[in-house]
A and B are shown apart, each in its own frame.
Chain A
Amino acid sequence: MIDLYSWGTPNGRKITIMLEELGLEYTMHPINIAKDDQFKPEFLAISPNNKIPAIVDTDNGQTLFESGAILMYLAEKTGKFMPTEDKARWATIEWLMFQMGGVGPMMGQTHHFVKYNADKSAYASDRYLTETKRLYKVMDARLANNEWLNGDSYSIADIATWPWVARHDWQTVDLNDYPNVARWYKTIAARPATQRGWNVPETEQKIPMP
């Protein structure tokens, strides 16, 4: 059984979508980051970086934080969504890292400067929006020749990236400018596990459509 500590954010949804895909049983412990639950000592004992998501696997007592590490752990535990064949496996890990090191932190800054603090710094807003659009272009080129990011099959690289692309409206990005990303986005949005994972913990939010 998996104990999941999370909230309905892009990094949180990576894990609920993965768990729903895997059909693994899990207990959701909501950590309301708008109310500073992430600074409570019980949570810091699991995630010293005061960020969701984090998990405890009660099958073996292992604790993990960082969404990318949790995705790799769950993929290795179940043998799913991370191919074992060499080429596809390394492409999965490389595009997962591209999400972790690029898409996540840079689009996160776009949310900070463009959406939440639009009046604070035109220079910073512009910097992160430009970088966000560059990242969309890289993904669009990749998905022009490949159905999935790893070039092989639906994987943790897609699962990690999709919830960030689902914030395209926050980023003031028109997905129709990136037709291959839009096609990939809609395909994943139609998966029942994506739709279930989207609303954990329960919300009334609809998946944004371009």
Chain B
Amino acid sequence: MIDLYAWATPNSRKVTILLEELGLAYRLHPVQIRLGEQHRHQFLAINPNNKIPALVDHETGIQTFESGAILIYLAEKTGRFLPKSGQARAATLHWLMWQMSGFGPMLGNLEHFSKLNPGRSADAEAHFQREIRRLYGVLNGRLGETDHLNGDAYSIADMATWP
């Protein structure tokens, strides 16, 4: 059985979408981040970085945080949505990392300045707007060449980016 600690956010939905695709049974433990539940001791024991999502797999005893790590874990556990070798595996991993390190954090930054704190820093708003336009351009360019990000089939790279 899998315990998933999550909330209705883009990083959590990556994992719930993959779990639903896989048809794996899981128990959802809502962590209300607006109420600060990610700072509770029981949760910090699973993720010392106080962020959702985090997962505990009782079958293997593995517990892991960071959505990208959880996606790779579940894909390898089931042998699905992450090609085992070759350029398709390489491309799945680099587009997943592109989402984890670029698209995800930059959308978060833009949201912080433009949506949650408009007017606080015009410079930061412009900086992140430029970066997000650039990243959408990169994404659109890639999807002009192939149906799915890894150039092969629906994978965890798409599931990480879609939410």
Contacts and interface: CB of A to CB of B under 8 A. Distances in A.
A is bound by B: yes
Interface of A: 48-50, 60-70, 72-73, 86-87, 90-91, 93-94, 96-98, 100-102, 104-106, 109, 112-113, 117, 120-121, 123-124, 127, 138, 141-142
A105 B124 contact: no
Contact of A69 (B73, B96, B135): B96
A48 B93 contact: no
B97 interface: yes
A113 B60 CA distance: 43
Contacts of A60: 86
A100 B121 contact: no
B102 A98 contact: no
Given A72-B93, A86-B60, A104 B138 contact: no
Contacts of A50: 138
Consensus secondary structure, chain A interface: helix
Interface residue range, chain B: 35 or more
A96 B73 CA distance: 13
A120 B93 CA distance: 36
B87, B93, B101 pick with most chain A CB within 10 angstroms? B101
Contacts of B30: none
B30 to A, nearest CB: 22
Interface stretch (B1-9, B21-29, B105-113): B105-113
Nearest to A122: B121
Given A98-B49, A113-B124, A142-B48, A69 B94 contact: yes
B90 A109 contact: no
